[in-house]
């Protein structure tokens, strides 16, 4: 039994990493919050030295615009004073809502939960490391408002300023070209961290977001694979403040894996059918050659190539049938 001083129990199994406030209620609850034009989702992890500069830059830009907004700052269990700095600054920023996590979940988890809990009709994703021109956030939101046929607008970076630049630039180019081939769409910037999109359009795809950096790739490919228009605006990209959390080998592997996963999820024939047709063709040619060379006998290699192609084609057709009957595309 509850008393007036004891809040009723609440099921928070959807987001077990959220911190409850002093009354026992999750700090992220959308109940009772009016809808606004835009929610800026700002994941923060060990950004104590510059997070206030980023918050000030975002709020100043939005205060000078006609947009109603909230800034949802998500502390991803920082090990420095990031959370304390944000808590101390709350009285200065009436439009900022703070969501601390009990454990580190990754930027993808922060963006997924932040988008689900957003009060804005349009959601903006950006970073707290001073790399993106966040003073342009109103421009991105107004672009969507002025173009109702566009569901997402992405900041396409005109330069690369990250660590491991010699390795990152060619690797990202290869991954981007691979994603363009699989999605059949020109993608100027596959994994930009600055983007604005319509929240209602994004909701069916939030469960697909991985916990790490490749969440930005996922939301891009989810929209493109389902015929949602994605436009791009060129942006400058600055040297990050603080220490990069990007690990080249691990995160590059995850990007490639996530591109394959997303295309397989929405359009498996795009991946499997070219491979199947190649094996079938090679197996057929090899078999025809064997008939001539070996007195009407076909070698085991030719049969294996042909049968493998048939199996992959059958798997692709079955996967495509599952995708089309799933009802969420």
Higher pLDDT, 67 or 262: 67
Maximum distance among all Cα pairs of the chain, rounded to whole angstroms: 92
Count other Cβ atoms within 10 Å, centred on residue 246: 15
Give the model's pLDDT for residue 249: 63
Mean of all residue pLDDT scores within the chain: 84
In this structure, the strands spanning 120-125 and 36-44 are: parallel
When mean pLDDT is compared across 18-27, 97-106, 205-214, the lowest value belongs to 18-27
Domains in the chain: boundaries: 36-265, 268-326
pLDDT above 50 (res 25): no
Confidence of residue 160 (pLDDT cuts 50, 70, 90): low
Query: Per DSSP, what are the bridge partners of residue 233?
Result: 155
Give the three-state DSSP class for 48: coil
Q: What are phi and psi of 164, to 5 degrees?
A: 55, 40
Give the model's pLDDT for residue 212: 78
Confidence of residue 2 (pLDDT cuts 50, 70, 90): very low
pLDDT above 50 (res 275): yes
Give the model's pLDDT for residue 26: 41
**Average pLDDT for residues 271-293, to the nearest whole number?**
92
Query: Per DSSP, what are the bridge partners of residue 71?
Result: 40, 96
pLDDT above 60 (res 329): no
Q: How many residues does the chain have?
A: 329
36-265 maps to CATH 3.90.550.10: yes
Confidence of residue 211 (pLDDT cuts 50, 70, 90): confident
Confidence of residue 23 (pLDDT cuts 50, 70, 90): very low
Confidence of residue 174 (pLDDT cuts 50, 70, 90): confident
Give me the helix-helix angle, 248-266 and 165-183, nearest 10°: 0
Give CA torsion, residues 161, 44, 90, 203, to 10 deg. Answer: 110
List Cα–Cα distances, 160 to 135, 157, 262, in angstroms: 19, 7, 25
């Amino acid at each position: 039994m509850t008393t007036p001083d004891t809040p009723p129990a609440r099921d928070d199994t959807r987001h077990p990493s959220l911190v409850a406030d002093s009354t026992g209620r999750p700090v992220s609850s959308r109940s009772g919050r009016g809808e606004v034009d835009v929610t800026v989702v700002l994941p923060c992890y060990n950004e104590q030295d510059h997070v206030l500069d980023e918050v000030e830059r975002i709020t100043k830009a939005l205060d000078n615009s006609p947009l109603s907004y909230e800034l949802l700052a998500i502390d991803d269990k920082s090990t420095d004073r990031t959370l304390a700095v944000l808590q101390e600054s709350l009285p200065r920023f009436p439009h900022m809502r703070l969501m601390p996590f009990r454990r580190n979940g990754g930027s993808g988890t922060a963006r997924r939960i932040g988008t689900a809990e957003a009060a804005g009709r349009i959601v903006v994703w950006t970073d707290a490391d001073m790399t993106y021109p966040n003073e342009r956030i109103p421009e991105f939101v107004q672009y969507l408002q002025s173009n109702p046929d566009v569901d997402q607008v992405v900041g396409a970076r005109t330069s690369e300023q990250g660590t491991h630049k010699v390795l990152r630039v060619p690797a990202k180019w290869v991954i981007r070209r691979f994603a363009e081939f699989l999605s059949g769409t020109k993608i100027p910037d596959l994994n930009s961290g600055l983007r604005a999109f319509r929240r209602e359009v994004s909701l069916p795809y939030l469960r697909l977001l991985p916990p790490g950096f490749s969440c930005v790739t996922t939301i891009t490919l989810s929209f493109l694979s389902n015929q949602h228009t994605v436009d791009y605006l060129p942006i400058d990209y600055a040297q990050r403040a603080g220490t990069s959390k990007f690990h080249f080998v691990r995160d590059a592997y995850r990007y490639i894996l996530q591109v394959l996963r997303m295309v397989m999820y929405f359009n498996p024939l795009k991946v499997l059918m070219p491979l199947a047709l190649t094996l079938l063709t090679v197996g057929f040619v090899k078999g025809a050659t064997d008939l001539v060379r070996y007195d009407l006998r076909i070698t085991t290699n030719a049969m294996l190539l042909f049968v493998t192609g048939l199996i992959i084609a059958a798997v692709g057709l079955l996967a495509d049938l599952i995708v089309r009957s799933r009802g969420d595309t």
